[in-house]
C-alpha cells in the first residue's frame, strides 16, 4: 500500500466563500493606500460584513477587476468629493454590488474636457417646433408677407409654444 503523505503537504482548506483571506487583505491595503493619496477616508476596521462583501466582489469579478475599481475611484474627481454635495467614496461604496459595477463601467470616470460630445438628437416634435419658430421669425423679419414686416417682432417664442400636429 502507498505510504500516507506527510501532514505538511496537505494544503489548508480554503475559508468559506472559496477565496483566500490574502485577497481581501490585498484589496484593503490597496484601498487604504489609494485613500491616503486621494484624501479619502482610510478604513479603520474590516468588519465581517465588509470582508464578506469584498470576498463576493473578488469571486464575481476577480481580484484584478477589484484592484482596477480601486484605481478608478482614486482617479475620479467625483469620487474624491468634487461634486455638488461634497460626497466622497469609501470602502463601503466599493463593497456595494451596484456601485462596484458602475465603477467598472466607467460611470464615475472623469470626462475629458477637450472631448466634444455629440449634440443630442433632435426629436420629431422638437424639429417641428424649431421649424415653426424659424418660419414665424422669417415672416416677422420681413422675409414673408409685408404685413408682418412693418410691425417687427411682437413676441419671443419658446420651444414649448407649439404642439406637433
pLDDT tens, 93-113?
Answer: 999 999 999 999 999 999 876
22 pLDDT higher than 60: yes
Q: Whose grid coordinates read 463576493? A: 56
Cell of 117: 460630445
Q: Residue 158 has what pLDDT?
A: 67
pLDDT tens, 121-155?
Answer: 677 777 777 887 888 888 888 654 455 444 555 55
Name, in order, each residue with C-beta under 8 angstroms of 153's C-beta and a sequence gap of 6 or more: 137, 140, 141
Give dist(CA 9, CA 27) in Å, integer.
Answer: 28
pLDDT tens, 45-92?
Answer: 999 999 999 999 999 999 999 999 999 999 999 999 999 999 999 999
Q: Residue 126 has what pLDDT?
A: 74
Considering only CA atoms, give the Rg of the chain: 30
**Which ranges in the chain belong to alpha helices (H)?**
21-38, 48-61, 63-75, 91-95, 97-104, 124-138, 146-149
Q: Residue 159 has what pLDDT?
A: 65
Listed by start position, the domains of the chain span: 15-104, 124-161
pTM of the full predicted structure? 0.56
Amino acid at each position: 500500500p502507498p505510504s500516507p503523505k506527510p501532514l505538511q503537504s496537505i494544503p489548508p482548506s480554503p475559508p468559506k466563500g472559496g477565496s483566500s483571506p490574502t485577497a481581501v487583505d490585498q484589496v484593503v491595503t490597496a484601498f487604504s493606500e489609494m485613500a491616503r493619496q486621494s484624501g479619502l477616508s482610510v478604513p479603520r476596521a474590516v468588519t465581517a460584513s465588509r470582508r464578506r462583501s469584498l470576498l463576493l466582489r473578488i469571486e464575481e469579478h476577480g481580484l484584478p477587476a477589484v484592484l482596477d475599481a480601486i484605481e478608478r475611484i482614486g482617479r475620479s474627481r467625483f469620487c474624491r468629493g468634487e461634486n455638488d454635495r461634497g460626497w466622497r467614496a469609501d470602502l463601503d461604496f466599493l463593497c456595494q454590488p451596484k456601485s462596484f459595477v458602475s465603477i467598472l463601467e466607467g460611470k464615475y470616470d472623469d470626462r475629458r474636457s477637450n472631448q466634444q460630445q455629440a449634440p443630442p438628437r433632435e426629436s420629431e416634435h422638437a424639429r417641428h417646433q424649431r421649424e415653426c419658430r424659424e418660419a414665424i421669425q422669417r415672416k416677422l423679419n420681413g422675409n414673408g408677407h409685408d404685413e408682418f414686416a412693418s410691425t417687427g417682432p411682437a413676441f419671443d417664442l419658446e420651444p414649448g409654444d407649439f404642439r406637433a400636429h
